Amino acid sequence: MPLIAILAGDGIGPEVTAEARRVLDTLGLDLGYEEGLVGGAAYKAVGHPLPPETLDLARRADAVLFGAVGDPDCDALERQFRPEQAILGLRKELGLFANLRPAKLFAGLEDASALRPEIAREIDMVIIRELTGDVYFGAKGFRTTADGLREGHDEMRYDEREIARIARVGFETARTRKGKLLSVDKANVLETSQLWRDVVIEVSADYPDVALSHMYVDNAAMQMVRNPGQFDVIVTGNLFGDILSDEASMCAGSIGMLPSAALDGTGRGMYEPIHGSAPDIAGQGKANPCAAILSAAMMLRHSLDLPDAADRIEAAVAEAILGGARTPDLGGTLSTRAMGDAVLAHLG
């Protein structure tokens, strides 16, 4: 029986993860669950945001369902004890190099988007962000120059193996959708991006059925608000993907609606809403659980080979939204639990 590690975290993490769990339980799937402490909850209990038992559980599990971390009580701690280190540690330790972020406007939520309704309605894309390379993981440094100026540097680097494996995820994903892949880079000025573009083109030889195109990242950022309906599957590096996916999320309505998957290429993955622990609303039953519920659906599809169950969850969320179910972030009054109930009601 597949094992799911439930790492609910702190803040609204446990509230939204509980609803995702209720949805999974209702489907009656043959899955085992084990809970682990992570983030501020782990720090408060055992003095570390990513305890060895939790890392061990994540390694043993077939998939990790993650809530959110970011307890403000931990803000003053040294960086290594901050809750966010747990996510970075899990990504690195589990080799989760491919971050899939679907951004889609659910019918009925046009008013929630930062864009005009007729533009927002067209949004339905997947951004595939490389997650374990680029400027975040290159050499970094700080020094004071001979003239007494403070100077910082972060090296942007990718090797061809790292680029090829994320490109393949892009092409494979494109095959499951419209057969279109857009690679975003800055090849006009960056060597890293020139290599990126060269390697993506080389890999495209294995995917003659997918139409590949390229765009510079600054133009992509502009197009994201001008005409996001043109995007289907986007593959890009860690830094560009970080920024573009946040931009896409606001175009698609509430942050409480967007799930994500971080994959290692073998089927194992960590699934989490893109939002954080929302300390401003934690403990009040106001959080929108849809992103967590949709993350569970992604888990069933990508790690557990249960696409039909994933489809059922996604359809239930879409129907609940269309039927007018709204938490406060969507302009409604439903509690976290009541929103979970609305989704369950449509699961049949």
- Positions that interact with ligand NAI (CB under 6 A): 12, 16, 68-70, 84, 87, 255-256, 272, 275-281, 287-288, 291, 329
Among 71, 130, 242, 272, binds Mg ion (CB under 5 A): 242
Q: Is residue 246 annotated as part of the catalytic site, yes or no?
A: yes
Q: Give least dist CB 154 to ligand NAI, A.
A: 19
* 272 forms part of the interface with Mg ion (CB under 5 A): no
Tokens of 77: 């701690």
| Residue with smaller CB distance to ligand NAI, 15 or 185 | 15
Q: Is 136 a catalytic residue?
A: yes
C-alpha to C-alpha distance for 242 and 227, rounded to whole angstroms: 20
**Residue 134 designated active-site:** no
Q: Decide if residue 130 touches Mg ion (CB under 5 A).
A: no
Backbone angles phi, psi at 77, to 5 degrees: -75, 160
Return d(Cα 164, Cα 174) in angstroms, integer: 15
The single-letter code of the amino acid at 318 is A
- Catalytic residue, from 111, 206, 218, 280: name it: 218
Question: What is the DSSP code (8-state) at residue 139?
Answer: -
Q: Which two tokens stand for residue 135?
A: 């400027």
Residue 318 CB, nearest distance to ligand NAI (Å)?
A: 17
Exactly one of 104, 242, 271, 286 is catalytic; name it: 242
DSSP string, 70-89: --GGGTTS-GGGSTHHHHHH
Q: Taking CB under 5 A as the rule, does residue 71 contact Mg ion? A: no
CB of 83 to ligand NAI, least distance (A): 6
* CA torsion through residues 284, 290, 296, 302, sign: negative
336 binds, among ligand NAI, Mg ion, none (CB under 5 to 8 A by kind): none
Is residue 186 among the annotated active site residues?
A: yes
Picked from Mg ion, ligand NAI, none, the partner binding residue 169 (CB below 5 to 8 A depending on kind) is: none
Q: How far is the CB of 161 from ligand NAI (least distance, A)?
A: 27
Q: Which residue has the tokens 């609940």?
A: 320
The phi-psi region of residue 343 (left if phi > 0; otherwise alpha if psi is between -120 and 50; otherwise beta) is alpha
| Residue 242 binding target from ligand NAI, Mg ion, none, CB below 5 to 8 Å by type | Mg ion
The site partner of 61 among Mg ion, ligand NAI, none (C-beta below 5 to 8 Å per kind) is none
Contact 236, 88 (CB under 8 A): no
Active site residue 242: yes
In Å, what is the CA distance from 100 to each residue of 45, 94, 236, 270?
A: 32, 16, 11, 11
Catalytic residues: 136, 186, 218, 242, 246
Which residues of the chain form contacts with Mg ion (CB under 5 A)?
242, 246
